[in-house]
Structure 1
Amino acid sequence: MKKDLILSKQLALLEKQEQKFLNQTESPFIKSNFTPMANKIQAKIPDKLHSTLDAAFYVGFHLVFEKGSSLIEKTYNKEKIDVTYDLNNYAIEKYMTKKHLKTLDKSSKHSKTINESIAAIEGGVLGLLGIGLPDIPLFLGVIVKTINEIALSYGFQYNTDEEKAYLLYLICAAMSKEDQRQAYDLKTERLGQDIDAHTPTNIDLDAFMKETSDLLSNTLLTAKFIQGLPLVGVIGGVINPVMINKIGKYARIKYKKRYLLSKIQTFTVNQP
């Protein structure tokens, strides 16, 4: 009973964090000072560039999923993360204390911080050189790397189409505007439940990539346009670590939630 109580309290705290993330609104300062300027810039961006950006994200996801997986895994020690998870998970199952649950979070927090730094360097340097569109596969690689490391930290592998689709919905939910965020969170939640319950799913990964590409394109159109301008592009490059922070924060919430729910289910089933 004590284990169930600890898990339930942890889940309740996590769901409060989840709702806080989902209900966040744009600050009045940004809304009054930056949003009007961004809207003016966006209105001047040619439709052709919009289509080009859509295609760049779509091709970027294909490159990352089809050819970049092995390269991405070379940027972190997958075996070490797996072993660390196994040790932490064993301690949680045996002792079930808040301390052990916090230890489980350390690995995911560390990877998010490191990848924010990588994104800042990548975005800033390419922005300084006036390179906007060519950096998209690199940037998507950092996003996928961040989510992969977080997934492993909570015991989830990411090689199936179902988990790749889940990853894409994580990105959509984290980066969507206020009116879309709740809907994408619900889609993410349902897909995660289906995966963990081993419910058969009919995943069209190509459609998921297209949907995510369109959303990212709309979200980042102005930033990537600015990043394509020499010197001024540094401003656009600043958006990269901000995105990594936001996506990483949301991914940590959702993977930890899946982990806690699976533990609650296991302890409930095994109770005499």
Structure 2
Amino acid sequence: MEYQEKVREDLIIWRSKVLKRSGLFNQLSKKAQTKINGLIPEKAHKIITNSIKNMVKATLVGSNMITNKKQLNDKSLYERDELLKEKLITYRKTAVVEGAGTGAGGIFLGLADFPLLLSIKMKFLFDAAAVYGYDANKYEERLFILHVFQLAFSSDDKRRETLAIIENWEEKKETLVDMDWQVFQQEYRDYIDLVKLLQLIPGFGAIVGAYANHNLFDTLGETAMNAYRIRFLAAKQLNG
């Protein structure tokens, strides 16, 4: 109970961080990216959206096949948090090595980083679901995973909207059918575009790739842990 109280305090701080407006540079970058996206023909948007949608769905299936299904129903919240931290270290190391390797190869290997990093992130989120006792075989749990991903890598407004869904998941999930895939892919691309473009520069890209993937995974790990903490505590309160 003492640990759960500490977690509740941590969640208040994290929630404030999520709701905080981005800095001026990020706001200007988002405006520029929105303007650029407006110049891209609708047909091209549909092609990109379908490509990423299919890539994410294929990754979801693949991640589910290799994720340990054992659910840790007898574990405390502290034990689950510690286990996820251990998993985060392992996944982050993999992402750093992958980012350095693809970044060192210049443009062609740099482009390969997108699907590779995406698959590592999704595999981590499937493991996070299992750590907190949720079955990613269920469609609603896959939707939750996608919302955690979107919360981690979105603009200010979308982040607020997604946090509200996660905080009220049991109620909101009944109204959700699928993701808005165009928004999903555009938010993710806009979030990582600037740093990933630098990764395409031969030589320098290796440093950027490793550093970027390290930070992206830290963001994802923090978001996943707190999203599942919210659900865990809500379930505890509901069950008395």
TM-score interval, smaller chain = 0.7 to 0.9
User: Which of 14, 18, 25 is the matching residue for 1:18?
Assistant: 14
Equivalent residue of 1:248, what SS? helix
Gaps of 5+ in 1: 89-99, 268-272
Is residue 2:50 matched to residue 1:63? Answer: no
- Contact 1:127 1:234 (8 Å CA) reproduced: yes
Is residue 2:177 matched to residue 1:203? Answer: yes
Q: Which residue of 1 aligns with 2:63?
A: 72
Computing the radius of gyration over CA atoms, which structure comes out larger, 1 or 2? 1
TM-score of the superposed pair, with normalisation by structure 1: 0.70
Gaps of 5+ in 2: none
TM-score of the superposed pair, with normalisation by structure 2: 0.78
Task: Give the number of equivalent residue pairs.
Answer: 232
- Contact 1:57 1:136 (8 Å CA) reproduced: no
One-letter amino acid of the structure 2 residue matched with residue 183 of structure 1: E
Equivalent residue of 1:164, what SS? helix
Q: 1:161 to 1:210 in 2, by over 3 A?
A: farther
Q: 1:124 to 1:75 in 2, by over 3 A?
A: farther
- Contact 2:92 2:218 (8 Å CA) reproduced: yes
Once residues 54 and 122 of structure 1 are traced to their aligned partners in structure 2, the CA distance between those partners, rounded to angstroms, is: 29
**Aligned Cα root-mean-square deviation (Å):** 3.5
Q: Which residue of 2 aligns with 1:245?
A: 218
Q: CA deviation at 1:61?
A: 4.3
One-letter amino acid of the structure 2 residue matched with residue 194 of structure 1: E
Q: Which residue of 1 aligns with 2:132?
A: 154
Q: CA deviation at 1:122?
A: 0.9
- Higher mean alpha-carbon deviation, 100-109 vs 242-251, is at 100-109
Is residue 2:185 matched to residue 1:213? Answer: yes
Once residues 236 and 156 of structure 2 are traced to their aligned partners in structure 1, the CA distance between those partners, rounded to angstroms, is: 31
Q: 1:259 to 1:103 in 2, by over 3 A?
A: same
* TM alignment of 1:88-107, pairs within 5 A: 88=75, 100-107=76-83
User: Which of 230, 241, 246 is the matching residue for 2:202?
Assistant: 230
Is residue 2:161 matched to residue 1:176? Answer: no
- Share of identical aligned residues, percent? 19
Q: 1:232 to 1:42 in 2, by over 3 A?
A: farther
Equivalent residue of 1:158, what SS? coil
